Chains A and B, each alone.
Chain A
């Protein structure tokens, strides 16, 4: 009859190959453990907690390290993409009626609340087109856009540090694009990665291109008719873009018609003849139209740099916290490891003392020192094993609680504690971190923890068991 604990604890009695020392010792160990119920319960709970710390803390730290790594990658990718985008548009001056065109992410999700949309006359485009620089024609082209929120709103629950609340934001944004050949051919005004159907083309009217995340909202796909501001439009295609939120592209004249904003635009992309003219042209536009938010290549570059600085700061804050958490975790684990062994050590030492007489009897009956030692080792290991199982149970339930209780709080935005922004900002979504993750209980982890617990318990019971084996039988038999 094979005893599973023999393999686990690595004991092997050379002189007793087919004997039942371990079966008997195992049975006695179980009986001894179960007959002192209160003590066993207390010990197992204590062991359970220290083992739960071993389970919960490292996995929490690892999970968050991984999260931070992927965030750093995200940041770098985003910055690189934006950098490329900006570099392509050295001759572009953006004039918008709403601020922060450069930080799309912030505009979505609505933590700025609803955007107060304003518009300017189309004629502004003609005026800008005629700006001269040192007597020469400064502007090559002006591309008008009309961006307007949908009439319909969708509700969304937002988690803030002060609780959850519901906000309403537009279901989508209409982008009216000038669909003439020069514009389409020379400037990137339409999305490029079409997933279904076709892109809008020159002179299209009554057609829309919708972001693929809107197909569900409209319950429509390519070829279907959808209603926008009460007017029917045929979906010509869908497009996919990570940075593009829910958007409907259409001809600018259609957009002006359906929204009732005849002759109005919300954004003008001004292309200067030469990149060196950009600053001067921008100054003129700013002076003439103070209601426009004007950004040149230079401004966008600076914006990007500011963003990059902020990202870097955030990341380094997060990394600092993780490093600190790692250090704390190491200390905690050392304490937990020591505690596990020490608990078993003291319990077994007490048990040996209490059972001195029994040791004497066993020796008088012909038990060898090794038999006695393995009896107590087995018992200690078994307690550790039960403690390990309890630890896994406690750890799997209370891992996040342990992590947040014992580790420094993740702090992405500097300052002393917590976040300054509501947690559910798009920015925090990008960051993807709200709290320490729970431990994922894989079979490997369970096996590792049980093995660890048994090993630590075996180490803890080594000395008490050795002491038991050294007890003189006569002394022990005299002991009451």
Chain B
């Protein structure tokens, strides 16, 4: 936890709408170390998604720099950005964004296309990932035949396909019910702890946000100075129902989903 994976320098995004300028984010300085799990909290309209899009090279800041894995991606020409997205970033969306006509395993294989892997290698890696997210039995199911939680697990496996330096999750629990929410965020936590995956997650849900190692706050496009320690960084507690170790301040057990009294 020493090396910086992601660093932003005073990034600012200004949208021009009909002659008016709208400042979506301004002066954001963010540092994410390898193995960190950062959640960025903020109300809707605070610029969370804009920030995440910039971090994921889907969008460019109006000013400032984004340094990903030591590379200033703001200086990478538009045509080459796809390589950063392919190899350095894994995206998890609120609406899962799986291709409906592909099976779970094909969806996971999708980002590996064009990376020089053979079909067999792709399949093997996709299987490994589906196993990791607990969907080994469901690899041939199309998204419509999976529950929302399962779909998001497939999306998480897909985000990890090319072993990205950083996983960006945009409201990953926004479309899930209360129980599933915790399963997903628990899965992200597990990946972070066990696989060392670096995760930046934006959410407006404080209970979800608190599962990270660090919780940052975004308001009106600005990152607030205060920072909260997340549950992953806190002392472990034991769930009275299932007996497993959980972090403090849980409303529900992330393992069994029971309410914590």
A contact set with B: CB distance below 8 Å: 1, 13, 15-21, 23-25, 27-28, 31-32, 35, 357-358, 360-369, 371, 473-474, 477
Distance in Å from the Cβ of B78 to the closest Cβ of chain A?
9
| Residues in B whose Cβ lies below 8 Å from that of A13 | 114
Is the Cβ of B101 less than 8 Å from the Cβ of A31?
yes
What CA separation (Å) do A32 and B109 show in the bound complex? 17
Contact partner of A35 (CB less than 8 A), chosen from B53, B59, B85, B101, is: B101
| Residues of chain A contacted by B256 (CB below 8 angstroms) | none
In the complex with contacts A31-B101, A477-B93, A366-B119 CB distance below 8 A? no
Cβ contacts under 8 Å, B230 to chain A: none
B147 at the interface (CB under 8 A from A): no
User: A357, B114: Cβ atoms under 8 Å?
Assistant: no
A-contact bits for B152-180, CB 8 A (1 contact / 0 none): 00000010001000000000000000000
| 6 closest Cβ pairs, A-B complex | A366-B86, A368-B82, A366-B85, A365-B111, A24-B113, A21-B114
Q: Given contacts A35-B101, A357-B97, A358-B99, is CB(A365)–CB(B119) below 8 Å?
A: no
Instruction: Tell me how far the C-beta of A233 lies from the nearest C-beta in chain B, rounded to whole angstroms.
Output: 84
Give CA–CA (A206, B101) in the complex, Å.
90
| Chain A residues in 8 Å Cβ range of B244 | none
Most chain B C-beta atoms within 10 Å of own C-beta, residue among A363, A365, A366:
A366
Determine how close the nearest CB of chain B comes to the CB of A28; give it in whole angstroms. 7
Complexed CA–CA distance, A24 and B116 (Å): 12
Q: Find out whether the CB atom of B114 lies under 8 angstroms from the CB atom of A361.
A: no
Chain B contacts of A32 at CB under 8 A? Answer: 101
Interface residues of B in 178-233 (CB under 8 A from A): none
Asked if B79 and A21 sit within 8 Å, CB to CB, the answer is: no
Q: Which residue of A lies closest to B111 (CB)?
A: A365
**A23 engages B114 (CB within 8 Å):** no
Residue on B nearest A476 in the bound complex, by CB: B58
How far apart are the CA atoms of A364 and B107 in the complex, in Å? 13
Q: A24 near B109 (CB under 8 angstroms)?
A: yes
Contact in complex: A367, B114 (CB < 8 Å): yes
Q: Return the CB mask of B94-108 against A: 1 if under 8 Å, else 0.
A: 000101011000100
Sample 28 A-B pairs with CB under 8 A, ordered by A number.
Answer: A16-B116, A18-B116, A18-B118, A19-B115, A20-B113, A20-B114, A23-B119, A24-B110, A25-B113, A28-B102, A32-B101, A35-B101, A357-B97, A363-B58, A364-B85, A364-B91, A365-B85, A365-B86, A365-B110, A365-B111, A365-B158, A366-B111, A366-B162, A368-B82, A369-B79, A371-B113, A371-B114, A474-B58
Cβ contacts under 8 Å, B102 to chain A: 28, 31
A32 — nearest CB in chain B belongs to which residue?
B101
Within 8 Å CB of A368, what residues of B? 79, 82-83, 114
Query: Which residue of B56, B79, B114 is within 8 Å of A364 (Cβ)?
Result: B56
Is B68 interfacial (CB 8 A cutoff)? no
Q: Which residues of B contact A15 (CB under 8 A)?
A: 114
Assembly CA distance A147 to B114 (angstroms): 88
Question: CA A16 – CA B86 in complex, angstroms?
Answer: 14
Residues on B with beta carbons closer than 8 Å to the beta carbon of A35 = 101
A19 touches B117 (CB 8 A): yes
Distance (whole angstroms) from the CB of B119 to the closest CB of chain A = 5
Known: A19-B114, A363-B58, A367-B113. 19 other contacts (CB 8 A): A18-B118, A20-B113, A20-B114, A20-B118, A28-B99, A28-B102, A31-B102, A35-B101, A364-B56, A364-B91, A364-B97, A365-B86, A365-B111, A366-B82, A366-B83, A366-B114, A473-B58, A477-B93, A477-B97
B117 and A20 contact, CB distance less than 8 A: yes
Report the separation of the CA atoms of residues A151 and B91 in the bound assembly, to the nearest whole angstrom.
Answer: 98
Minimal beta-carbon separation of B139 from chain A (angstroms) = 15
A contact residues around B255 at 8 Å (CB): none
Please indicate which of the listed interface residues A1, A19, A362 has the most CB atoms of chain B within 10 Å of its own CB. A19
Q: Which residues of B contact A477 (CB under 8 A)?
A: 58, 93, 97
Q: Measured between alpha carbons, how far is A28 from B99 in the docked complex, in Å?
A: 10
Q: How far is the CA of A364 from the CA of B205 in the complex (A)?
A: 24
Q: Give chain A residues whose Cβ lies under 8 Å from the Cβ of B109.
A: 24
Task: Flag whether B25 is at the interface (Cβ < 8 A).
Answer: no
Given A31-B102, A362-B110, A474-B53: A367 and B82 within 8 A (CB)? yes
Q: Does B122 contact A (CB under 8 A)?
A: yes
Are A20's CB and B79's CB within 8 A? no
Interface check B252, CB cutoff 8 A: no
A17 to B117, CA, bound (A): 10
Least Cβ distance of B106 to chain A in Å? 8
- Closest CB-CB distance, A59 to chain B, in whole Å? 40
Chain B residue contacts of A366, Cβ below 8 A: 82-83, 85-87, 89, 111, 114, 162
The complex places the Cα of A361 from the Cα of B122 at a distance, in Å, of 19
- Closest CB in chain A relative to B76 CB, distance in Å: 13
Partner of A365, one of B53, B91, B116: B91
Chain A residues with Cβ under 8 A from B97's Cβ?
357, 360-361, 364, 477
* Residues of chain A with a CB closer than 8 A to B56's CB: 364
Bound Cα distance from A473 to B97, whole angstroms: 13
The answer to whether B113 and A1 touch across the interface, beta carbons within 8 angstroms, is: no
Q: A366 → chain B, closest Cβ, in Å?
A: 2
Distance in Å from the Cβ of A229 to the closest Cβ of chain B? Answer: 85
Please report the C-alpha to C-alpha distance between residue A28 and residue B111 in the assembled complex, in whole angstroms: 14
